[in-house]
């Protein structure tokens, strides 16, 4: 029997009306002959409120207890969803991560899925139930409740789709798909019909906050088709899928913007073996997550290294940089705060030339200075001033908009 996983995010279950609407959608799929597994997030804002509450109680709550607390949000929404489906005359049952045998490692608040047993789930499906699974939660080997990190209901959904061999995983959200750029900034941005896993992964890490990255990785690994679409309309959304030839014809699929970044420049480091290792050992010791790293050397035996971090890591990053300055007797360290990163993404870059030129020229014409450039096979990123970031997004999108963007 064909099977569908439908995931509903917080805004799609934010009140009784919306829960009923989501329930209707699942029932419709069931009537079309699918077995239906729903994965549901906590009602919109709930997880934030629970975190807020914990902070009022303690500056440093035990992570185990945070998981105990946060998983209650999903338990509310799954039970309400089951009631809504019952009220509409269909059979449904809600199940927690533990009840479906979603086993994770023991890393509270950022656990990773190790195994999904799924026997219970399959049995309930065979018995004709729409099965409603709590997103974002599991249990470790000793039965302790864990969570998979903020936004990870997407990951629960795609992982379940993989394990159950679902025809598709539908992600219902408050936007109607993935756009060529943020439509709040770029009025001419368009919905992308189809995008490859690799492009979507790049876009997610470069600032397009549509889906949890780990969910996309799962999709890629297990070849799960992911359909991101609006829970408020019946319009088709964006299909995230394996790469097909015609994707290469589109040079740039999307333009993304990441704000609230900080760039450090460490000038005049010795250009010698082991220096970069020592610098980034300091970074790792503090657990600071580094985004881009660039190093260049000169003819005097010196090298200059720059790296970017997210702005909420700034206090830790400053401490790290002070230690590095001390290690190497550095002076003249620069800290550009804040900066933004604008990127163009597309598998078509592999086979087309002139993409960098088009991007840089568009910014030059708008008098936007580029502080740093990094590239991968399918993206080009520039670090620029935050004040010019939105303008940059518009001019770059415009430059590729002549039949090139999806």
Taking the C-alpha atoms of residue 24 and residue 176, their distance in angstroms, rounded to an integer, is 18
Burial of 33 (0-12, 13-18, 19+ CB in 10 A): exposed
Binding partner of 110, given ligand ASP, Mg ion, none, CB within 5-8 angstroms per partner class: none
Binders of Mg ion in range 77-136 (CB under 5 A): none
Beta bridge partners of 372: 383
> Phi and psi of 138, rounded to 5°?
-155, -165
Q: Can you tell me which of 4, 5, 7, 9 binds Mg ion, judged by CB under 5 A?
A: 9
Least separation in angstroms between residue 70's CB and ligand ASP is 7
User: What's the token pair of residue 137?
Assistant: 């939660």
Nearer residue to ligand ASP within complex by CB, 73 or 254: 73
| Residue that the structure tokens 């001033």 belong to | 385
Nearer residue to Mg ion within complex by CB, 42 or 125: 42
Q: Choose the binding region for Mg ion from 7-15, 24-32, 56-64, 363-371 (rule: CB under 5 A).
A: 7-15
Binding partner of 348, given ligand ASP, Mg ion, none, CB within 5-8 angstroms per partner class: none
Nearer residue to Mg ion within complex by CB, 9 or 73: 9
Binding partner of 135, given ligand ASP, Mg ion, none, CB within 5-8 angstroms per partner class: ligand ASP
DSSP class per residue in 128-192: TPEEEEETTEEE-TTS-EEE--TTTHHHHHHHHHHHHT-SEEEEEESSSS-BSS-TTT-TT--B-
Q: Which three-class secondary structure state does DSSP give residue 196?
A: strand
54 touches 168 (CB < 8 A): no
**73 touches Mg ion by CB under 5 A:** no
158 touches 136 (CB < 8 A): no
Distance (Å) of CA 76 to CA 147, 186, 287: 16, 37, 34
For strand 302-310 and strand 254-270, is the pairing parallel, antiparallel, or unpaired?
Answer: antiparallel
User: What's the token pair of residue 249?
Assistant: 């014809």
Nearer residue to Mg ion within complex by CB, 152 or 362: 152
Binding partner of 253, given Mg ion, ligand ASP, none, CB within 5-8 angstroms per partner class: none
146 touches 140 (CB < 8 A): yes
Binding partner of 12, given Mg ion, ligand ASP, none, CB within 5-8 angstroms per partner class: none
Largest CA distance in the chain: 78
Least separation in angstroms between residue 60's CB and ligand ASP is 20
Can you give the binding site for ligand ASP, defined by CB under 6 A? 10, 41-42, 47, 73, 135-136, 150-153
Nearer residue to ligand ASP within complex by CB, 50 or 330: 50
Taking the C-alpha atoms of residue 366 and residue 15, their distance in angstroms, rounded to an integer, is 45
Least separation in angstroms between residue 154's CB and Mg ion is 6
Least separation in angstroms between residue 136's CB and Mg ion is 9
User: What's the token pair of residue 101?
Assistant: 């045998």
Query: What sections of 296-383 are H helices per DSSP?
Result: 314-328, 355-365
Nearer residue to ligand ASP within complex by CB, 51 or 275: 51
Binding partner of 342, given ligand ASP, Mg ion, none, CB within 5-8 angstroms per partner class: none
Nearer residue to ligand ASP within complex by CB, 100 or 355: 100
Least separation in angstroms between residue 206's CB and ligand ASP is 20
Least separation in angstroms between residue 150's CB and ligand ASP is 4
Nearer residue to ligand ASP within complex by CB, 80 or 152: 152
Binding partner of 240, given Mg ion, ligand ASP, none, CB within 5-8 angstroms per partner class: none
Nearer residue to Mg ion within complex by CB, 4 or 204: 204
**151 touches Mg ion by CB under 5 A:** yes
How many CA atoms within 13 Å lie on the side-chain side of 391?
13
Least separation in angstroms between residue 237's CB and ligand ASP is 18
Contact set with Mg ion (CB under 5 A):
9, 151
């Amino acid at each position: 029997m064909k099977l569908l996983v439908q995931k509903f995010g917080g805004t799609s279950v934010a009140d009784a009306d919306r829960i009923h609407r989501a329930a209707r959608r699942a029932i419709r799929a069931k009537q079309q002959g699918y077995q239906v597994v729903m994965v549901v997030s906590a009602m919109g804002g709930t997880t934030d409120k629970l975190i807020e509450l914990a902070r009022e109680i303690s500056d440093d709550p035990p992570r185990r207890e945070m998981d105990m607390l946060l998983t209650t949000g999903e338990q509310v929404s799954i039970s309400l969803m089951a009631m809504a489906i019952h009220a509409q005359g269909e059979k449904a049952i809600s199940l927690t991560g533990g009840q479906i045998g979603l086993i994770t490692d023991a890393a509270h608040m950022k656990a990773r899925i190790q195994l999904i047993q799924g026997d219970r789930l399959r049995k309930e499906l065979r018995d004709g139930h729409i099965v409603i699974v709590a997103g974002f939660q599991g249990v470790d080997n000793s039965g302790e409740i864990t969570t998979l990190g903020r936004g990870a209901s997407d990951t629960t959904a795609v992982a379940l789709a993989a394990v159950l061999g679902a025809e598709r995983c539908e992600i219902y959200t408050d936007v109607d798909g993935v756009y060529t750029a943020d439509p709040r900034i770029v009025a001419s941005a368009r919905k992308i019909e189809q995008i490859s896993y690799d492009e979507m992964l790049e876009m997610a890490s470069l600032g397009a906050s549509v889906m949890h990255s780990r969910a996309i990785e799962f999709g890629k690994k297990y070849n799960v088709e992911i359909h991101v679409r609006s829970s408020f309309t019946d319009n088709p959304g964006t299909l995230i899928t394996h790469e097909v030839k015609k994707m290469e014809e589109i040079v740039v699929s999307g333009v993304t913007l990441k704000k609230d970044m900080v760039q450090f420049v460490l000038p005049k480091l010795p250009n010698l073996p082991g220096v970069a290792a020592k610098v980034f050992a300091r970074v790792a010791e503090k657990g600071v997550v580094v985004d881009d790293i660039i190093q260049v050397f000169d003819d005097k035996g010196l090298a200059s290294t720059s790296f970017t971090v997210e702005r909420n890591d700034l206090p830790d990053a400053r401490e790290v940089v002070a230690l590095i300055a001390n290690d190497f007797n550095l002076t003249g360290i620069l800290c550009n705060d804040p900066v933004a990163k604008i990127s163009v993404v597309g598998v078509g870059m592999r086979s087309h030339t002139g993409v960098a030129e088009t991007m840089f020229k568009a910014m030059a014409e708008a008098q936007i200075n580029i502080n740093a450039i990094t590239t991968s096979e399918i993206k080009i990123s520039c670090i620029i001033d935050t004040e010019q970031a939105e303008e940059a997004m518009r001019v770059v999108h415009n430059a590729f908009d002549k039949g090139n963007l999806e």
